[in-house]
């Protein structure tokens, strides 16, 4: 009888843990030029796809967010032309609350992306073609940053008259920071040691002319980099080897050539890659990946709401959450792990002008 009782208690305990792990916290950044207030947080059940609101934090134009690995600190850009800044917040993931810590100007124009490096935070400033590297103190507060400017250009005389720095990300091995220049058709590589950028003299990797690279991701095994290009609407695949990049494939993501491709992510199992397109035929292109070669094969396309900028995939791989700015909603799609294809659940999260979504 005692053994049976212990088994029952263990089963109840396991069920409780399972239910708890099914609940995620969503962080949604917005543009506040309409009636949005800033950063919205939600509880999200990654089994049912149901959501419920938690909190709202007043921040002007928090168009991109980053969270530390321990989920205790959130950094957000304030995309406000020459007044652009990065702010640090204490984060209570269970309650969805953000408590302001400190703020620093980027000294660039239209900060659009932020990356946590470890002991640095990096913001990219789109319009001024620059990045700002902020050292962190021992509490994770932002110290005064170093502005790094770029002076490149591309063949598109309107969109590429000068550098437009759009995103940055640390390499899978933690040794490099890669920075994307949409205006100059470049990827810049900087050394990282112990979570800090140690030099501001980059290695420059040329992207095919006119592509306009925007965001990027890595394969789960860290062997390949995948870049979505905004202007040509392609995914460019690079072999990654100790910091070196070798182009091995270019595959179309936007068949309508709307010049508005935006974001790119792998499913948690690493089998499928998703890329968002805006301006025409708004939606996500879906690719399967060959794990041996890193090469992509087109699988299908999922139409979405209007202007799908950023999106996230839940850790269990069952849902894709798409921030559709001009539909004022985060659209919730159920994902088939076997085929990679998506189905609209109809469980939209209504938020004014969402542009960034994170799952915690």
pLDDT tens readout for residues 83-109: 999 999 999 999 999 999 999 999 999
Are the C-beta atoms of residues 158 and 121 closer than 8 Å to each other?
Answer: no
In the predicted model, is pLDDT for residue 186 greater than 80? Answer: yes
Instruction: Give pLDDT, residue 8.
Output: 33
In the predicted model, is pLDDT for residue 358 greater than 90? Answer: yes
Give the distance, in angstroms, between the CA of residue 165 and the centroid of all CA atoms in the same chain.
15
In the predicted model, is pLDDT for residue 252 greater than 80? Answer: yes
Confidence class of residue 21 from pLDDT cuts 50, 70 and 90?
A: low
In the predicted model, is pLDDT for residue 234 greater than 70? Answer: yes
Query: How many angstroms separate the CA atoms of 140 and 102, rounded?
Result: 10
Instruction: Give pLDDT, residue 230.
Output: 98
Instruction: Give pLDDT, residue 297.
Output: 98
Give the distance, in angstroms, between the CA of residue 51 and the centroid of all CA atoms in the same chain.
21
In the predicted model, is pLDDT for residue 248 greater than 70? Answer: yes
Instruction: Give pLDDT, residue 83.
Output: 97
Instruction: Give pLDDT, residue 13.
Output: 35
Instruction: Give pLDDT, residue 324.
Output: 98
Average pLDDT of the chain to the nearest whole number: 94
Query: How many angstroms separate the CA atoms of 146 and 35, rounded?
Result: 34
Confidence class of residue 12 from pLDDT cuts 50, 70 and 90?
A: very low
What are residue 29's DSSP bridge partners?
356
Domains of the chain and CATH, by start: 23-359 (2.130.10.10)
Cβ neighbours, 10 Å, residue 221: 11
In the predicted model, is pLDDT for residue 222 greater than 70? Answer: yes
Rounded to two decimals, the pTM is: 0.93
Instruction: Give pLDDT, residue 31.
Output: 98
The whole-number average pLDDT for the span 150-168 is: 98
Confidence class of residue 16 from pLDDT cuts 50, 70 and 90?
A: very low
pLDDT tens digits along 47-59: 999 999 999 999 9
Beta strands in 106-212 (DSSP E): 111-116, 120-125, 130-135, 146-149, 165-170, 176-181, 186-193, 196-197, 203-206
DSSP 255: T
In the predicted model, is pLDDT for residue 11 greater than 50? Answer: no
In the predicted model, is pLDDT for residue 294 greater than 50? Answer: yes
pLDDT tens digits along 300-314: 999 999 999 999 999
The whole-number average pLDDT for the span 200-220 is: 98
Task: Using a pLDDT cut of 70, give the percent of the chain over it.
Answer: 94
Instruction: Give pLDDT, residue 9.
Output: 32
């Amino acid at each position: 009888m005692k053994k049976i009782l212990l088994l029952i208690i263990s089963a109840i305990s396991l069920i409780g843990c399972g239910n708890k792990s099914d609940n995620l916290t969503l962080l949604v950044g917005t543009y506040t030029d309409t009636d949005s207030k800033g950063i919205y947080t939600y509880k999200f059940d990654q089994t049912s796809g149901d959501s419920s609101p938690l909190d709202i934090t007043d921040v002007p134009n928090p168009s991109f967010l980053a969270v530390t690995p321990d989920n205790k600190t959130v950094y957000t850009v304030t995309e406000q032309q020459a007044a652009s800044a990065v702010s640090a917040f204490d984060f209570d993931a269970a309650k969805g609350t953000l408590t302001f810590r400190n703020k620093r100007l980027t000294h660039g124009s239209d900060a659009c992306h932020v990356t946590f490096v470890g002991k640095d935070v990096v913001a990219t400033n789109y319009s001024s073609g620059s990045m700002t590297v902020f050292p962190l103190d021992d509490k994770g507060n932002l110290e005064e940053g170093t502005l790094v400017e770029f002076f490149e250009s591309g063949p598109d005389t309107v969109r590429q008259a000068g550098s437009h720095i759009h995103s940055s990300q640390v390499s899978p091995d933690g040794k490099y920071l890669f920075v994307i220049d949409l205006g100059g058709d470049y990827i810049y590589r900087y050394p990282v040691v112990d979570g800090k950028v140690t030099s501001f003299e980059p290695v420059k990797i040329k992207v095919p002319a006119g592509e306009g690279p925007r965001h990027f991701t890595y394969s789960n095994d860290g062997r390949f980099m995948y870049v979505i290009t905004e202007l040509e609407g392609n995914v460019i695949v690079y072999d990654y080897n100790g910091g070196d990049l070798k182009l091995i494939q270019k595959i179309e993501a936007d068949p309508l050539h709307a010049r508005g491709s935006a974001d790119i992510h792998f499913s948690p199992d690493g089998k499928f890659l998703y890329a968002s397109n805006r301006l025409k035929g708004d939606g996500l292109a879906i690719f399967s990946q060959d794990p041996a070669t890193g090469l992509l094969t087109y699988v299908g396309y999922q139409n979405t709401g209007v202007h799908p900028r950023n999106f996230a995939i839940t850790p269990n791989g069952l849902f894709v959450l798409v921030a559709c700015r001009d539909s004022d909603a985060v659209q919730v799609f159920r994902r088939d792990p076997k085929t990679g294809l998506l189905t609209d659940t109809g469980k939209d999260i209504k938020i004014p002008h969402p542009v960034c979504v994170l799952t915690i």
